[in-house]
Amino acid sequence: MKLDIVNLSKSYGQKEVLKNIGFTFEEGKIYGLLGRNGAGKTTFFNSLNNDISVDSGKFYLEDKYGRNELKSSDIGYVISTPIVPEFLTGREFLKFYIDINKDKIPDLKDVDYYFDLVKLSKEDQDILLKEYSHGMKNKIQILVNIIANPKIILLDEPLTSLDIVVQEEMKKLLKGLKKDHIIIFSTHILELATDLCDEIVVLNNKNLELIEKKNLNTKKYKEIIIKALKEEKKKND
């Protein structure tokens, strides 16, 4: 399975953010999308998810059924600031989500199975979502996307605010998901990207640049990524 992006461009007034992006993402990999704050990572995700209009661009999903235009149902999107119905408990929300989507959920499991996946305690499952920490709300966001099982998962800074223990739990979970998905993970934290991701893509000069992977965690490789990010800053200053 592949996600093909063809000639994606997006501007806000006179400010050009994305310019003629052409790129292919492949199944079975976690892609780390790196860029300085304000480089356009969220704009890129919003464009893919059809949350904003674009100036130009087409998105295609190629799988065993052929090559077709990307549909909203193909994408799961975990945003950086989680939005959940705070008047429900975690269990109530999950049951409600499953109930209204049960005809579209492949290989539906029991609610407790899903809670166990993200290691959410029995006690936390039955308190109101408004009492959840930022990290717990992110777990719920990711869990909903696991249940829906979209082909493409977009993760916009989902682990940045989590403590180290929860980060490790979620990284393990994401690595287990990648086999049958295309996962694009946006972050500005280099160490997190090199630890979790199979490929590093830098949003550089309004376009996507794949940084050739040699030894992902070596000092030299990190220096190559930092150099690309510094060049982007110089062009925007």
- Min mean pLDDT across 19-23, 51-55, 66-70, 222-226 is at 222-226
Q: What is the pLDDT of residue 214?
A: 61
Q: What is the pLDDT of residue 233?
A: 52
Q: Which residue range is the domain that position 19 belongs to?
A: 2-236
Q: What is the pLDDT of residue 235?
A: 53
Q: What is the pLDDT of residue 5?
A: 96
Burial class from Cβ neighbours inside 10 Å (0-12, 13-18, 19+) for residue 100 reads exposed
141-151 pLDDT per residue, tens: 888 988 888 99
pLDDT top residue among 225 and 200: 200
Q: What share of the chain is helix, strand, coil (3-state, %, to 5)?
A: 40, 30, 30
Give dist(CA 45, CA 49) in Å, integer.
Answer: 6
Looking at the structure of the chain, the number of domains it has is: 1
Closest listed residue to residue 205, CA positions, set 8, 6, 40: 40
CATH code for the domain in which residue 223 is found: 3.40.50.300
Q: What is the pLDDT of residue 63?
A: 87
Closest listed residue to residue 185, CA positions, set 206, 170, 164: 170
Percentage of the chain exceeding pLDDT 90: 43
